[in-house]
Amino acid sequence: MTGRLVVVSNRIPTEAVPSGGLVVALHDALSEQGGLWIGAHPETGDPDAPFEEIGGAPYRRLAFRLSEADYENYYLGFANSVLWPLSHHRVDLVEINAAYTAAYLAVNRRLARRMAAILQPDDLVWIHDYHFLPLAAELRALGVGNRIGFFLHIPVPNITDLEVLPHPPDYAAWLAQYDLVGLQTRTDVARCLEIYRADPRAEFLPSCAVKFEDRVTRVQSFPIGIDVAAFRADALSAGSKGDGMEARANYVIGVDRLDYSKGLPNRFRAFERYLQDHGTGDRLSLVQIAPPTREAVDAYRRITADLEYIAGQVNGLYGAFDWSPIRFIHRPVPRDEIARLLRGAKACLVTSLADGMNLVAKEFVAAQDPDDPGVLILSRFAGAAEDMTDALLVNPYDHDAVAQAIDRAAHMSRDERLRRHAALTEVVERTDVRAWSRSFIDRLSRLEPGLLLRGRPLREALARFDRPSPPRALRLSTKPT
Ligand code: ADQ
């Protein structure tokens, strides 16, 4: 394929060589193919100013500014106080507010106008995440006929939860304007198709294609992964003195953004249950790393207070002069230090109540010493559980079951740890983030751009829709970064 790749994401990297799995994969794809990366500037400013160039990359990076009011109403408001809780099955936390909805639509419309002015006809557009659900619809309204793909990093909402949206039919209509909708799991695909099945405007075509009014969209799972080699290298890097954690120390670990979807209070309570049921003789600690995020949103402030309360209670009840059962680190920790801490842990606890994928589960597996690996305890409600079935899968609402899994992990035989780790490593390597971005771009580039079924026999339209892969669809870098 010859066109440019145009990536749109909420955050845009500002450093010349970015780090972090997803960002690196997109950076590689753009460096190889050439194109544009469009995203919100980290600082607010004049929303009507032209795109700002961020230099230093072998492709163009264009930033737009959100006004203070956009930040409040679009970012903290509709994106993170409506769509985020809705998609994580927390409709009780959804805040419906007309100003949020208006700002969400306005920011997407404004961005679409800017993009339409610079897009070229053979550009391949890849839009990321819930901040931009209506962006393709806005682009189509301006006559943009390019191939446009979308990847949703968070779960597809339950169909009944969609009813809390100010205008529920919009969700299906927004997604239908993309040529390809990429989701994390097969379960997400099923949930998305259920939304279309219930919508009178939609009609099913073979292979998860949906005809919606006069467009066809494909819905497919593309489970995201990590930059395996880079994470392994971080885990093996020399630690700074004073880490306080030796190799294979006596702790289980959790690493999360401080978000209510991650099930942190459940995790702390389950660890308390473990101490109650199995005693303190093992002197096992829970190390929880969770820097604050989105603290301007009420629900996020409340969770910090809850966790500090539970940790204080458990440490007061079970701690000793030389041992704290829960070590709650509530500040950002450098990536390489996280990798080393993951490597040193006996087990990793992922207890999400809902989670698109959960990359920490994959990072933990990649960080392990293959000759003496730790054990992954993984919530059934994380997308990662769909393929990582050799983890100890748990129901995070069941404190007894999680407590038992902690005890089982702490005493698991080396043979069983080796067997489980080898199977999990196969999944982590297969879903490496570069393979993930390559497969999405390859799939999108093979679709017929802007397919309209109007006046065309269905058989012919579908034949055109699923063109075979060209001999060399894409060249992507295999250089380590
Ligand atoms: P997140 O909700 O942010 O991502 P996750 O997939 O776990 O969740 O990724 C978090 C990343 O941030 C990991 O790379 C992790 O190491 C890092 N991180 C977490 N806590 C950290 C800390 N204390 N300090 C430094 N780094 C930390 C969203 C969706 C997920 C989906 C991803 C990717 O919610 O479900 O897996 O996007 O699609």
Strand 326-329 and strand 375-379: pairing? unpaired
- 211-220, 244-253, 285-294, range with the lowest pLDDT: 244-253
Of the candidates 250, 259, 186, 252, the one whose C-alpha atom is nearest the C-alpha of residue 405 is 252
pLDDT one-digit tens code per residue, 17-37: 777 778 888 998 899 889 999
- The whole-chain average pLDDT of the chain stands at 90
Query: Residue 329 CA: which ligand 1 atom is closest?
Result: 23
Query: Does residue 266 have its Cβ closer than 6 Å to ligand 1?
Result: no
327 or 455, which is more confident: 327
Q: For the chain, give the percent of residues with pLDDT over 70.
A: 90
**Residue 320 half-sphere exposure, CB side, CA atoms within 13 Å?**
8
Query: Does residue 154 have its Cβ closer than 6 Å to ligand 1?
Result: yes
Same fold? 5-225+434-467, 228-431: yes
The answer to whether the beta carbons of residues 74 and 102 sit under 8 Å apart is no
Average pLDDT over residues 416-431: 98
DSSP 100: H
**d(CA 88, ligand 1 centre) in Å:** 15
Average pLDDT over residues 184-193: 97
Examine the pLDDT at 86 and tell me if it is beyond 70.
Answer: yes
Of the candidates 8, 29, 31, 288, the one whose C-alpha atom is nearest the C-alpha of residue 132 is 8
Query: Does residue 355 have its Cβ closer than 6 Å to ligand 1?
Result: yes
Query: Residue 356 CA: which ligand 1 atom is closest?
Result: 35
DSSP 67: P
User: What residue segments make up the domains of the chain, in order of their start?
Assistant: 5-225+434-467, 228-431
pLDDT confidence band for 460 (50 / 70 / 90):
low
Average pLDDT over residues 348-375: 97
**d(CA 98, ligand 1 centre) in Å:** 30
Query: Does residue 359 have its Cβ closer than 6 Å to ligand 1?
Result: yes
pLDDT at 450: 53
**d(CA 461, ligand 1 centre) in Å:** 40
Residue 89 annotated as catalytic: no
- Which residue's CA is the closest to the ligand 1 atom numbered 20? 256
pLDDT at 260: 92
Q: Largest Cα–Cα distance of the chain, in whole Å?
A: 78
Of 123, 129, 227, 355, the catalytic one is 355
- Which residue's CA is the closest to the ligand 1 atom numbered 4? 358
Q: Note the pTM of the prediction, 2 decimals.
A: 0.92
Residue 243 annotated as catalytic: no
Q: What are phi and psi for residue 200, nearest 5 degrees?
A: -65, -15
**d(CA 388, ligand 1 centre) in Å:** 17
Of 88, 153, 399, 421, the catalytic one is 153
Examine the pLDDT at 479 and tell me if it is beyond 50.
Answer: no
The answer to whether the beta carbons of residues 291 and 259 sit under 8 Å apart is no
Angle subtended at Cα 227 by Cα 224 and Cα 232, rounded to the nearest 5 degrees: 130
**d(CA 256, ligand 1 centre) in Å:** 6
Q: Mutate which of 11, 89, 227, 257 to test ligand 1's pocket (most atoms within 8 Å of Cβ)?
A: 257
Query: Does residue 183 have its Cβ closer than 6 Å to ligand 1?
Result: no
Average pLDDT over residues 329-351: 94
d(CA 393, CA 349): 10
Q: Mutate which of 255, 258, 335 to test ligand 1's pocket (most atoms within 8 Å of Cβ)?
A: 255
CATH code given to domain 228-431: 3.40.50.2000
**d(CA 357, ligand 1 centre) in Å:** 9
Query: Does residue 361 have its Cβ closer than 6 Å to ligand 1?
Result: no
Query: Does residue 264 have its Cβ closer than 6 Å to ligand 1?
Result: no
**d(CA 362, ligand 1 centre) in Å:** 11
Of the candidates 62, 63, 66, the one whose C-alpha atom is nearest the C-alpha of residue 4 is 62
- Which residue's CA is the closest to the ligand 1 atom numbered 16? 360
Examine the pLDDT at 192 and tell me if it is beyond 50.
Answer: yes
Examine the pLDDT at 401 and tell me if it is beyond 50.
Answer: yes
Examine the pLDDT at 275 and tell me if it is beyond 50.
Answer: yes
**d(CA 257, ligand 1 centre) in Å:** 7
Examine the pLDDT at 469 and tell me if it is beyond 50.
Answer: no
The domain defined by 5-225+434-467 folds into Rossmann fold (3.40.50)
- 3-class secondary-structure state, position 327: strand
Q: For the chain, give the percent of residues with pLDDT over 90.
A: 78
Examine the pLDDT at 104 and tell me if it is beyond 50.
Answer: yes
Per the listing, tokens 């009609």 go with 203
Q: Mutate which of 83, 261, 359, 365 to test ligand 1's pocket (most atoms within 8 Å of Cβ)?
A: 359
**Exposure class string for 382-398: b at 16+ Cβ within 10 A, else e:** bbbbbbbebbbbbebee
